[in-house]
Chains A and B, each alone.
Chain A
């Protein structure tokens, strides 16, 4: 798939290329509507047989600033947002200066010649085709003075439609959906700008690319797809999971989840409230969960840290709760709009005392929908808090995925009040399942739900035997859960030289790296973990079948070269050949980058495989 794009020296400018997939990077300022045109392209791709994945950066300041949107669309399985762009669209000189690097050799530079002056020597050297289009002045011509700021993005959409022969009817329909509810002139102008871009002659460029929009094979049924960001998927997944109450405090990049739920939950007789702080957020969610209403809270790293005392309560009192952490760069306020996977330690350990909880991590946008349903199921079946990790990259990127089958995924895990003869909330012979208040207990003994260590009825007890038994009860249920978890699927052979282990948003990149390495004759395998606590069965066996295991993650390494998950796995299985590839630049891995990091790591450090060394003798 990717090799067809490699442009052998000397053939550029002449031979037309057929692309299976294309990466378009649009660079401008945030107020240019780049995000919205990117989102429309993604939605269009989702409405065709194309796969799509996007990536965007937004400035941390509200007032605007450089911004990009990258769309990767194609006919194969699009796994990542793509490395080098096939087409770079540069609105300004700074866009050109900052992003020319990201354009592949032999690619196309489409630039606003009103604002950008490219260095033609460099372009020639890199066999890049320059396509100057006076976008600003043309848009002003079409729309009048307002076109200087508005409409350029839609003009660009027309240009892209022309280049990739996208279905114009679909685009017109989409514009009608997006602008239809506004003043009539808005849609009219958008259509004008679109047609202008579509009609503008960039004929030459067409000869360098032919991009066929994939068509269905004979007898193949069209798959309806939904196109959304990870944060949207998370919100809808929560609704499908049966969440009917939420409470949280805003923080980037978590906020859109709560905004979406705030708007949507009332339609399901639910509610999502904005609380005064994160402590109140988790407390209110726990209150609803205690009431038998499936509930959630969420935040990013700083807020999860604040919630930790209540997480320990949820463990102790055995209250089912979904806690989302959309990770960003840390520590402290850190890098609010960058990606990092550095909250794993916090997710696993936030809270005091022995406080076993479940931790899951979404691998992509689709996962945000489906895995959050699994998280809510586990929370309710085991009466335990479940921490659900997403990250900035998944939160903001747009993917298309098959329309979920709602008959099978929509759940109603809430607990209704009942009438019981008698009731012990913390009975030792079963997994705790609270009767919600409102339940009538006929023997007249009403239950206490408490954060103090307690006996089976919920009465405080500092008795050693009780504490031991209850601590074990809270631990054992996770052992029971672990046995039910699916062994993660291995991509590639089940034994060999190198196994890459991933979690979270790195899945697509790791898979593309494995595929690309395979095309060059290197045989790597990969496994992606969604259940981070408890870990699924079979991992130790799997790890033993490889000479080397490298955990790829976006966080910092310890003195053994291990990132946060690598350290957990190394400790869990006492396997010294588990190591890591980590990074802290606040950006997602690129495929090329990952491949060279793998090569470096494999070359530089000899594999520590083999039987673990004798334990050190510390006696004097």
Chain B
């Protein structure tokens, strides 16, 4: 049975809070020990904590190991094509402001095949949250060099070790105009939750660059950021001004493993906002006569 939302009393009913059981979906197919498990667990926790109406959450992804994400969370979800989920989510965000679109993609999807879209979503400040699950390798296609793989990384496409410089995601994001840029790691669940929560609350294009280890093809890659493995997890300095672009760039220049936390956060009108205000007195499809007379008036000018 299908009811429309408006003519059913059910939507007025108070609802029990969203639980982990509500959000449970297919059993993840990742390799045991993959960092993506903990990103998923934190996403569940985030949704539980925020208690958004379940039907208003849309989990979206591209293609990659990390992009299998939507099947593992019980929300409306889209598993799109490689590299293009950001424009897809843009279309959804602009046309359905009532929803919460949240994107999960890998480093290859985000910064290589979809790199151009990242720049433009950032510049346009689309109301959208993106988590890049960066394992510095192509996982799904079984170990090729990714745009974040470090120099010297041995992969099936660079058996002698990669010779080209990786991109610097946070630097790229700040320079292309993202209004929220944070950096975290799957090895630090509490910090990850904190960053995701801040990203979700941000009104604009918010990106969380998240180290997520591929135990299969790039094991140990982030040990330097895991204190219990002898690494360090340096937080963004307390006196960092998150609204200062120059200071954000300074953070991005820190050598591996770099700082973790919010690099940059500013308020700028979103594309959603600027697109809404373009016509002075728009008519709505809920008033068919008004629609017809507006179109009629346009056509009259051509008689």
Contacts and interface: CB of A to CB of B under 8 A. Distances in A.
Contacts, number: 220
A448 B275 contact: no
A62 B302 CA distance: 26
A410 B292 contact: yes
Contacts of A289: 91
Given A266-B275, A266-B282, A419 B96 contact: no
Given A239-B295, A268-B291, A446-B54, A283 B283 contact: no
Interface string B1-34: 1111100101100000000001001100000000
Nearest to B68: A460
Contacts of A271: 94-95, 275, 278
Contacts of A225: 303
A385 to B, nearest CB: 14
B200 interface: no
A291 B26 CA distance: 23
A539 interface: no
Given A227-B303, A287-B88, A290-B92, A448 B77 contact: yes
B239 interface: no
Given A268-B291, A283-B80, A446 B55 contact: yes
B30 to A, nearest CB: 14
A409 to B, nearest CB: 9
B55 A417 contact: yes
A239 B284 CA distance: 12
Given A227-B302, A419-B3, A420-B2, A313 B81 contact: yes
B95 A279 contact: no
Interface in B196-213: none
Interface string A308-339: 01100100000000000000000000000000
Given A309-B81, A416-B4, A268 B283 contact: yes
Interface stretch (A102-110, A191-199, A241-249): A241-249
B299 interface: yes
A427 to B, nearest CB: 13
Nearest to A406: B292
A290 B95 CA distance: 10
Contacts of A420: 1-3
Interface string B61-96: 000000000110011111111001111111111111
B299 to A, nearest CB: 5
A291 B92 contact: yes
B221 to A, nearest CB: 28
A412 B75 CA distance: 27
A459 B11 contact: no
A186 interface: no
Contact of A264 (B54, B55, B58, B298): B298
Contacts of A448: 70-71, 77-79
Contacts of A281: 87
B116 interface: yes
Contacts of A295: 91, 95
Give the bracket for the number of chain A residues in contact with chain B. Answer: 35 or more
A271 B97 CA distance: 13
B91 A226 contact: no
A277 interface: yes
Contacts of A538: none
A279 B120 CA distance: 13
B303 A47 contact: yes
A269 B271 CA distance: 15
Interface in B268-290: 271, 275, 278-279, 281-285, 288
Interface stretch (A437-445, A514-522, A581-589, A593-601): A437-445
B254 interface: no
A460 B98 CA distance: 28
B76 A446 contact: yes
Give the bracket for the number of chain B residues in contact with chain A. Answer: 35 or more
Nearest to A369: B299
A418 B2 contact: yes
A276 interface: yes
B91 A444 contact: no
Interface string A38-70: 000001001100000000000000000000000
Given A271-B275, A459-B26, A283 B54 contact: no
B295 A416 contact: no
B78 A267 contact: no
Interface in A220-279: 224-228, 232, 236, 239-240, 242, 244-245, 247, 264, 266-269, 271, 273, 275-277, 279
B57 to A, nearest CB: 8
B191 interface: no
A394 interface: no
Given A244-B285, A417-B55, A449 B79 contact: yes
Given A266-B278, A275-B120, A292 B96 contact: yes
Contact of A287 (B79, B89, B271, B281): B89
Given A275-B120, A420-B2, A421-B1, A240 B295 contact: yes
Contact of A419 (B11, B279, B284): B11
Interface string A418-433: 1111000000000000
B8 A437 contact: no
A350 B55 CA distance: 34
Given A239-B295, A437-B76, A414 B285 contact: yes
Contacts of B282: 266-269
B78 A446 contact: no
Nearest to B15: A440
A284 B2 contact: no
B99 interface: yes
Contacts of B92: 287-288, 290-291, 437
A350 B203 CA distance: 38
Contacts of A404: 299
Nearest to B74: A446
Given A266-B278, A283-B88, A288-B95, A419 B76 contact: no
Given A403-B303, A437-B56, 10 more contacts: A224-B303, A226-B303, A268-B291, A269-B282, A275-B87, A279-B84, A286-B91, A438-B99, A441-B55, A448-B70
8 contacts: A242-B285, A266-B279, A268-B291, A291-B91, A309-B84, A419-B2, A419-B3, A446-B76
Interface of A: 43, 46-47, 224-228, 232, 236, 239-240, 242, 244-245, 247, 264, 266-269, 271, 273, 275-277, 279-281, 283-293, 295, 309-310, 313, 403-404, 406-407, 410, 412, 414, 416-421, 435-441, 444-452, 459-460
Minimum-distance CB pairs A-B, first 6: A287-B91, A284-B91, A280-B87, A266-B278, A266-B279, A437-B76
